[in-house]
Structure formats: C-alpha cells, structure tokens
Structure 1
Amino acid sequence: MDLRIFTEPQQGASYDTLLSVAKAAEDLRFDAFFRSDHYLKMGEVSGLPGPTDAWLTLAGLARETSRIRLGTLMTAATFRLPGVLAIQVAQVDAMSGGRVELGLGAGWFAAEHTAYGIPFPAEKFPRLEEQLAIVTGLFGTPEGETFSYDGTYYQLADSPALPKPVQEKLPILVGGMGKQRTPALAARYADEFNIPFASVEDSAAQFERVRRAAEEAGRKPDDLVYSNALVACVGKDDVEVARRAAAIGREVDELKRNGLAGTPAEVVDKIGRYAEAGASRFYFQILDLSDLDHLDVIASQVAPQLG
C-alpha cells in the first residue's frame, strides 16, 4: 500500500515551507511528495506569500531530497505547451535521479487564467488528449530518431525529442470522474489512474470503467495503478482530530464522510474500504503545512497497520 503526501501550495505556502514538508515526508518514509498546479488561491484564505510554480518547485526539491518520488496532481495542460512541458519534466527527472511522475489534466479553474493572463480555451479535453500524445511520443522516441505530430491544436515537425527522462518509463497519471472520455484516455496513456475527493462507491464505479476501457484498448487492467486523493485529518484521539479540523476550517463529521479523517483506527478502516473498491495508492491531502506532527501520526500510527 503506497501512502503519499499531497499539498495545495496555492492556499499559502512558500518554497521553504514545501521543502520542509517534502523532507519530513521523506524522513517518515512516505512514498512520494506531490503538489497541485494552481496559480490562484481558493476559498477564504490569504494565499500569502502567493503562488509557486509546480515544476520550479519540483526542480528545487529534486536537488534537496534523495529518495522520495515527486510529482503533480495535476499539471494543467492549459499552462504549458506540450513540447516545453516534456523538456521540463525530463530535466527535473534527471535532476532527481529518476524520481519524477507526471500527472496531466485539462485545467479547469478559469479565474486563475484570467488573473495571470493565461488563455482558457473552450476545447480543453481535446487539447489534453493531444498533449498526452505529444509528451508520451517525445519520451518514447528512440534517441537518434525524430518525432512529428500534426494535430488540431499542436504541430511538431522533426523534433529531436530530447532530453529524455532518466527513467526508462516515466509514470504518467490521468484522473477524474468523466464516464467515457476520461477512462479511454487513461487506458491509452496512463500508468496510474487517480480519483480526487470521491466516495468509495463512486471510486469503485469509476475504477471499473477504467478497467473496462483498458481491456477494450488491449491492455491488462492490472497494468494500471488505481489511486485516491483525499483530504487528511488524522489525530491520536478525538481532541486532536477536532483541533486539526478547526485549523483548516472544516467540520469533523464532514471530513469523516469525505476524507481520511479520525483516529488512526478510523482512517485504517476507511482506507480498507477504498482498497476493496480497487485502490492501492493513497494521496493524503495535507492542508495545514505547518503541522508536521500530522505527517508523523500518519506514518507512525496509520502506515504500520496497512502492511
């Protein structure tokens, strides 16, 4: 069972804060440190000191960590041209010694595009599909050969398809709850399928759609990793759970319904239900990045019970 830490820096976090969380996650033997890719805060938070760029952050962390894997949930396809993104990801993979994973999504938050002058096209999903084809095509082109692509939105001609990732196969993540196009896209391009903030029942149904799509695409469904991302609020006892819930402005009952919240025993039980639905990897969304003891509770009291 892989346990990963997932952060939302647009809500207010400097690079130094993210570095502290990533190093703590590494020291506590979490499998990976992931972050969102957003440029604008959401909800009633200050957002100070302001947004950090996902791939600049991961480049820094690549040089200041040694074991933990690094990635995005999800890089927004609207933020970057696919050829440039492929160069960035391959470079950070080399900087990390081969520890990078790329989650790529369509982009959805219109306000952040308006705030920073980023085009927000109507046809986001078809652009995502082309981006996945290009990034995986560039990574998969043998050295010495060139890559070309003639799409509706992007065209590449005789690209040297360099640099290459250090990893022979850099993991690609696709996710979401779309019932048709999303499973088909995952079946074609993904190594991992991630569902954010969904119930056990909805996760089971979506995992099954992806498994069927994989079979239809000629892949073994078990070739993909199936994962959930859920807000975390874990405490040694009910008092600690309530304190952590208050710190992030959430209600305990709501967090227990919708996230990985409660005492270690409660969280282990909830993870078990998601595992029965098909998940083998969990992203603990940590919203209070100053509370490193939260990570310690998960690592010391939840992880050992999962085997």
Structure 2
Amino acid sequence: MDLRIFTEPQQGASYETLLAVAQAAEELGYSGFFRSDHYLRMGEGDGLPGPTDAWITLAGLARETERIRLGTLMTAGTFRLPGVLAIQVAQVDAMSGGRVELGLGAGWFEAEHRAYGIPFPERRISRLAEQLAIITGMWETAVGETFSFEGDHYQLTDCPALPKPVQARVPVLVGGSGVNRTPALAAQYADEFNMAFVSVASTVERIARVRAAAEKRGRAAEELTCSNALVACVGRDDAEVARRAAAIGREVEELKANGLAGTPAEVAERIAQYREAGSQRIYLQILDLHDLDHLDLIASEVKPQLG
C-alpha cells in the first residue's frame, strides 16, 4: 500500500510550514505530498496566516524537494481557465524534474467563491469534462502542431499547446461521489480515481463502478489506480491518540469510525481493510501540520506493518 501525505492549508499554514511538512515527508519515505486547493477555511479556527495558492506552493516545493511527488486533491476547475492551468502544471512539472500530478475537480465550495469574487457557475461537471479534454489534449498535441477545441464553455483556436510537461504523461486524478458521470470522466481521462473520506463499503461500490466504466471504454480496469483520502490520527497509546484528536478538534471514536485513528496496529489493520476493498494508495490527511512526529510515527510503525 502506497502512502502519501495530504494537507489542508486553508485551515491555516504558511509556505514555510508546508515546506517543512513536504521535506519531512520526503525524508521519511512517503511517495507524495499533496495539498487541497481552497482559499477559505472550513469550520473552526481563524485560518491564519491566510490561504496559500496551490500551484504557487507546488512551484516552490518543486525547487526545494528532490524525490517526492507533488500534486493537488483537487484543483478547483472554477479557479483557473484550462489553457492557463495546462501551462502552469507543465511549468511546475519542469521545475520539479517531472514529479507533478494533477488532481482536477469541478469545484464545490460556494462560500469561498463569494469571499474572493470568483464566479461560481452552474453546469460545473460539464465544464470539468471540457477542462479535462483541453488539458490532456494540449499535452498530447505534438510539438509543432496546434490544438483547437470547440465546446459549450471553452473555445481554443490554433493553440500552440506549449509548454510540454517533462513527463510523457502527467498523471491525472479524478474523484467525486457521482454515480455515472464521475466514473465516466475518470475512465476517459484519469490515471487515478480518488475517493475522499468514504467507508470501506462505499469504496467497494465506487471502485466497481469506475472499473465497469473503464471496461466500457475498452480500458483494462487495472490501468486505473484507485485511492482513498482519509484523516489520520495515530498515537503510540490511547492517550497520545486522544491528544492528537483534541489538537484537531475531533473526537477519537468519530475518527475511528470515519478515518484512520488509533494505535499503529489498529491503523494498519484499518488500512488493510481498504486494501482488501481494492484501494492501492492512501492519502493521509494531516490536519496538525506542526506535529511532524506524527508523520514519523506513521512511517516507522504503521508502514512496516502493511507489507
């Protein structure tokens, strides 16, 4: 089971804090450092010092890390025009030496759009479909050729489709709870299908749907990596688990029911259940970004139990 670190900087984190987490994650052997793409905090807390931009952050981290893969869960399709986003991601991929992955979603948090004056359009799923077509189409266009697109939401005419990413293909992640359109989009465009904060039973159902959609398109089901994002709260004993739960304003029993909480042995057993459900990768949502010992504990005492 592959383990990655997933952060929520809109809750309150400077670039320096994110850099410390990313470098610690790299040193401890995690395969990826991912962050959300939000501009407004959710729930409790003051959100200080304020939001950071996902792709500016990743550009900085690209130059200050060496091995770890970098990406978003998920970039909001409402924040950036697809042609511009294709340029941004390709540039950060070059800055990282080919370590970037793009998680792209439709955008859902209306309050942050109102707060920062960002349009919140209707038909966001159909916009997402066009965004995926444009971004992947631009990257796949041969150098010296142009890319054009005529959609309901976006039109591109004779785009040079430059620059190209360093990677032959930047991995694309698609996620969501939709029963039909989301699996279809993942089957058509994605390398990875991500499920955020869902149960083992729901994981089984969603993987079955996306694999059926992939096979309908003529793709082998195993071509699509399936992953979960789950909050992590691990402690060496019950007291440490309780301390970490309190630090993020959550209850231990709720975390055990809905995430990965408990001792290393308990969390390893829970992760094994997701592996049995078909998940191949876990994004560990770390909410206390100043607790680097938490990352160390998971790497040293949970990961070895996963085989």
| 1:169-198 Cα distance to aligned partner (Å, 9 max, x none) | 110000011100000000000000000000
The one-letter amino acid paired with 1:88 is Q
The runs of 5 or more residues in structure 1 that have no matched partner are: none
Residue 253 (structure 2) aligns with: 253
| 1:229-285 Cα distance to aligned partner (Å, 9 max, x none) | 000001111111000000000000000000011001111111111011110100000
| 1:108-133 Cα distance to aligned partner (Å, 9 max, x none) | 00000000000000111100000000
CA distance in 1, matches of 2:35, 2:47: 15
Residue 22 (structure 1) aligns with: 22
1:4 has 2:40 as partner: no
Residue 208 (structure 1) aligns with: 208
Residue 34 (structure 1) aligns with: 34
Residue 88 (structure 2) aligns with: 88
Offset of 1:44 from its aligned partner?
1.1
Residue 228 (structure 2) aligns with: 228
The one-letter amino acid paired with 2:264 is P
Paired residue total: 307
CA distance in 2, matches of 1:303, 1:98: 26
CA distance in 2, matches of 1:237, 1:167: 43
1:59 has 2:55 as partner: no
Residue 130 (structure 1) aligns with: 130
4+ long deviations beyond 2 Å: none
The one-letter amino acid paired with 2:42 is M
SS of residue in 1 equivalent to 2:204:
helix
CA distance in 2, matches of 1:187, 1:44: 37
CA distance in 2, matches of 1:85, 1:101: 13
CA distance in 2, matches of 1:141, 1:111: 37
The one-letter amino acid paired with 2:275 is A
The one-letter amino acid paired with 1:289 is L
Residue 217 (structure 2) aligns with: 217
Spell out the pairing of 1:143-154 with structure 2 (5 A cutoff). Answer: 143-154=143-154
Residue 68 (structure 1) aligns with: 68
1:299 has 2:295 as partner: no
CA distance in 2, matches of 1:176, 1:106: 9
The one-letter amino acid paired with 1:171 is P
CA distance in 1, matches of 2:138, 2:45: 39
| 1:53-88 Cα distance to aligned partner (Å, 9 max, x none) | 000000000000000000000000000000000000
What is the TM-score with the length of structure 1 in the denominator?
1.00
The one-letter amino acid paired with 2:141 is T
